[in-house]
Amino acid sequence: MTDTTKILTIQDISCYGQCSITVALPVVSAFGIETAILPSAVLSTHTSGFTDYTVRDLTEDLPAIREHWESEGIYFDAIYTGFIASAEQLDYIKDIIDSRLKPDGLVFVDPAMADHGEFYNGFDQEFADAMGELCKLGDYILPNTTEACYILHKPWKEEFSHEEMLEMANELSEFTKRYVVLKGDTHKENELGMVILDKKESNCEMAYNEKVDYVSHGTGDVFASSFVGSVMSGKSPVAAAKLAGEFTKIAIEKTVGDETHTYGVKFEQAIPYLYDLLDSI
């Protein structure tokens, strides 16, 4: 990484609630990386636990933004996609990747569309199939097991064996240019694991973190953002997965016990620990 490294993150802005761009922008920036944003939509809150939230779809704005960047000669060293508002937006995003990414740039795709066996509001199998096509442009894809199952047209279940996780990661290698980071290996009692598969080197490794018995919206965004920042800071994919898992665990630990904080995790309070993690992992 150089001091001129620029990342573009494409996902929604939830004005209240710790997810998407309100996580990605501060977390990636905390690595010392210049972070630009392209909102896919603006919501008054995120969609988990809130009712009657407002949504403004920004699909029609995407082509003009790309054209302006082209006229200004703006390019990015990496593009990181998260929550995308619609299948229609995916074609515009592919065009942005094709035109605004530097020749040696990296693409990170977090196919944020489902968890715990269910799609998020407004998504369906047709969207998952379109997301699978976007994943094929990614140097790194970061699905959880639910998203992986929808992409692969496989039934989801609460627990997958270690062998099933490895098999699923191998199947997902058809949907990435190089790396699969599959989250959700739970075969160890007190740890959460990730499968990191490098299709170019035909290599598969695991990374584990201590499990915290707590479920919250936005942890996937905390993980993905810190993973992107770690890779762009020079960490190997396995080290980046380990660091991102530890950072997410700290954010969860900072949140546990606060019954009023039901809309995300306190990742801001974990940022001071990020620099120690960079040195130690």
Work out the angle between the directed axes of helices 271-280 and 21-30 (0-180°, nearest 10).
Answer: 50
Mean pLDDT for the stretch of residues 241-260: 96
Dmax over Cα atoms in the chain, in whole Å?
54
Helix (H) or strand (E) holding 140: strand 140-141
Residue 281 and residue 271: Cα distance in Å, rounded? 15
Edge-to-edge strand ranges of the sheet holding 55-57: 55-57, 34-45, 6-16, 76-81, 101-109, 140-141, 179-185, 191-198, 203-210
Given CATH 3.40.1190.20, say whether it is the number of domain 6-280.
yes
pLDDT category of residue 243 using cuts at 50, 70 and 90: very high
pLDDT category of residue 3 using cuts at 50, 70 and 90: low
Residue 73 has pLDDT above 70, yes or no: yes
Which tens digits make up the pLDDT trace of 120-153? 988 999 999 999 999 999 999 999 999 999 999 9
CB 145 within 8 A of CB 183: yes
pTM: 0.96
Mean pLDDT for the stretch of residues 38-42: 97
Q: Kindly report the average pLDDT of the chain as a whole number.
A: 95
Residue 129 and residue 87: Cα distance in Å, rounded? 9
Task: Enumerate the domain spans of the chain.
Answer: 6-280
Tokens for 165?
């996780």
